[in-house]
Amino acid sequence: MSAPTGSSRPSRPLTKRFGSWTTGVPAGSTADSRLLDTPPSSDFTHTDPWRVMRIQSEFVQGFDSLAEIGPAISVFGSARTKPDSPHYQTGVDVGRLLVEAGVAVITGGGPGSMEAANRGASEAGGLSIGLGIELPFEQGMNQWVALGVGFRYFFARKTMFVKYAQGFVVLPGGLGTLDELFEAMVLVQTSKVTQFPIVLVDTAFWSPLLDWIRDTMVAEGLVSPGDMDIVQLADTPEEAVSLVMAGEAGTKVGAVPRA
Ligand SMILES: C/C(=C\CNc1ncnc2c1ncn2[C@@H]1O[C@H](COP(=O)(O)O)[C@@H](O)[C@H]1O)CO
């Protein structure tokens, strides 16, 4: 029997995901991946314009949910950090100190360092926010999130991390953390955001990356020497929070204030 095609495709059960109803999808597939993948046939292409409505709804939901959170700092870091890791305790302390400094804490809402920062914020009685992401393997929001917003699309979610935060604290992490860090660095480098401190926690972890940027990218003229000032290094939660709250790093001379 041949595989069903086009509109004859069997319907799938409805599944509740992140507060909105969606049709179930094959394992390993997400809305993000289906949008970005090359379509197997032209039938599929015709559904892309309608996805704009879904994408739009993510921005509307995000803007609506976060409009009144007040000052906030986004905290990034590994989803794989274990609770007994020193990085986890650093995340807890960063979350707590940010709340004590008077700001809300925004994370990706997942496990590891995200959970740690949400936990610190929550235990300190502050606003603990998680911006969850639909992943092929189901992953709920961590238990320390008080205000959770779910996203299907990484790009919509990333907009929220920047738009609703006045700075970033970045704990040790992997590719996801690097993606978020470099997005923020490029936004400052290109003056898309101003007065946006980005603080990397743990000099030993981040120095090899910064050395490579300086010794290779700057040396080859691919990055300006001044761009190294976009990020600052810290070794303790106190230092990280002090730097991010000072809010001066990454300021681009002549740039217009953020709208
Ligand atoms: C890997 C595992 C779960 C992943 N769950 C995630 N939930 C929410 N946000 C995530 C998740 N994974 C990555 N992110 C985002 O990227 C950053 C961490 O990525 P890294 O590669 O671990 O550095 C983080 O800031 C999130 O925004 C199972 O444990």
128-154 residue pLDDT tens: 999 999 998 867 899 999 999 999 999
206-209 own/partner pairs: CB under 8 Å, 24+ apart: 206/170, 206/172, 206/231, 206/233, 207/233
Mean pLDDT of 14-26: 38
The predicted pLDDT at position 132 comes to: 96
Per the listing, tokens 């400094």 go with: 101
What mean pLDDT is reported for the chain? 85
The share of the chain scoring above pLDDT 90, in percent, equals: 71
Alpha-carbon span 230 to 189, nearest angstrom? 7
The predicted pLDDT at position 41 comes to: 58
The share of the chain scoring above pLDDT 70, in percent, equals: 81
Residue 82 pLDDT greater than 60, yes or no:
yes
Report which of 134, 102, 99 is spatially closest to residue 119, judged by C-alpha positions. Answer: 99
Query: What residue type is 73 in one-letter code?
Result: I
Q: Which atom of ligand 1 is nearest to the CA of 108?
A: 27
Q: Which atom of ligand 1 is nearest to the CA of 112?
A: 29
The predicted pLDDT at position 19 comes to: 38
The predicted pLDDT at position 152 comes to: 93
Alpha-carbon dihedral 147, 150, 151, 156, rounded to 10 degrees: -10
Distance 180 CA to ligand 1 centre (A): 10
Report which of 29, 3, 247 is spatially closest to residue 152, judged by C-alpha positions. Answer: 29
249 pLDDT band, cuts 50/70/90, is low
Report which of 76, 133, 124 is spatially closest to residue 103, judged by C-alpha positions. Answer: 124
Residue 57 pLDDT greater than 80, yes or no:
yes
Kindly report the pTM of this predicted structure: 0.82
Alpha-carbon span 79 to 240, nearest angstrom? 20
In this structure, the residues whose C-beta lies within 6 A of any atom of ligand 1 are 76-80, 108-111, 114, 132-133, 135, 139, 173-177, 180
List the Cα angle 91/75/184 in 5-degree steps: 145
Task: Encode pLDDT of 220-243 as tens digits.
Answer: 999 999 999 999 999 999 999 999
Distance 133 CA to ligand 1 centre (A): 9
The predicted pLDDT at position 257 comes to: 45
Q: How many CB atoms lie within 10 A of CB 244?
A: 30
The predicted pLDDT at position 37 comes to: 75
Alpha-carbon span 110 to 23, nearest angstrom? 23
Per the listing, tokens 């986004």 go with: 74
Report which of 83, 120, 106, 86 is spatially closest to residue 169, judged by C-alpha positions. Answer: 106
The predicted pLDDT at position 31 comes to: 75
7 pLDDT band, cuts 50/70/90, is very low
Query: Cβ(186)–Cβ(55) under 8 Å?
Result: no
Mutate to test the pocket of ligand 1, among 30, 78, 157 (most ligand atoms within 8 A of CB): 78
Distance 1 CA to ligand 1 centre (A): 40
The residue extents of the domains of the chain are 63-246
**How many Å is the Cα radius of gyration of the chain?**
20
Report which of 241, 185, 181, 229 is spatially closest to residue 205, judged by C-alpha positions. Answer: 181
Residue 209 pLDDT greater than 60, yes or no:
yes
Residue bearing the CA closest to ligand 1, atom 8: 110
Q: Which atom of ligand 1 is nearest to the CA of 179?
A: 16
Distance 116 CA to ligand 1 centre (A): 13
Q: Which atom of ligand 1 is nearest to the CA of 173?
A: 23
Q: Which atom of ligand 1 is nearest to the CA of 109?
A: 8
Residue 34 pLDDT greater than 90, yes or no:
no
Mean pLDDT of 111-133: 98
Task: Encode pLDDT of 163-180 as tens digits.
Answer: 999 999 999 999 999 999
Mutate to test the pocket of ligand 1, among 32, 107, 114, 155 (most ligand atoms within 8 A of CB): 114
* DSSP SS3 for 9: coil
Mean pLDDT of 75-91: 97
**Residue 92 φ/ψ, nearest 5 degrees:** -60, -45
Distance 78 CA to ligand 1 centre (A): 6
**Residue 88 φ/ψ, nearest 5 degrees:** -65, -45
Distance 120 CA to ligand 1 centre (A): 18
Alpha-carbon span 17 to 144, nearest angstrom? 19
Per the listing, tokens 């992997």 go with: 174
43 pLDDT band, cuts 50/70/90, is low
Distance 154 CA to ligand 1 centre (A): 11
Per the listing, tokens 């490029």 go with: 186
The CATH architecture annotation of domain 63-246 reads 3-Layer(aba) Sandwich (3.40)
The predicted pLDDT at position 140 comes to: 85
The ipTM of this complex is: 0.93
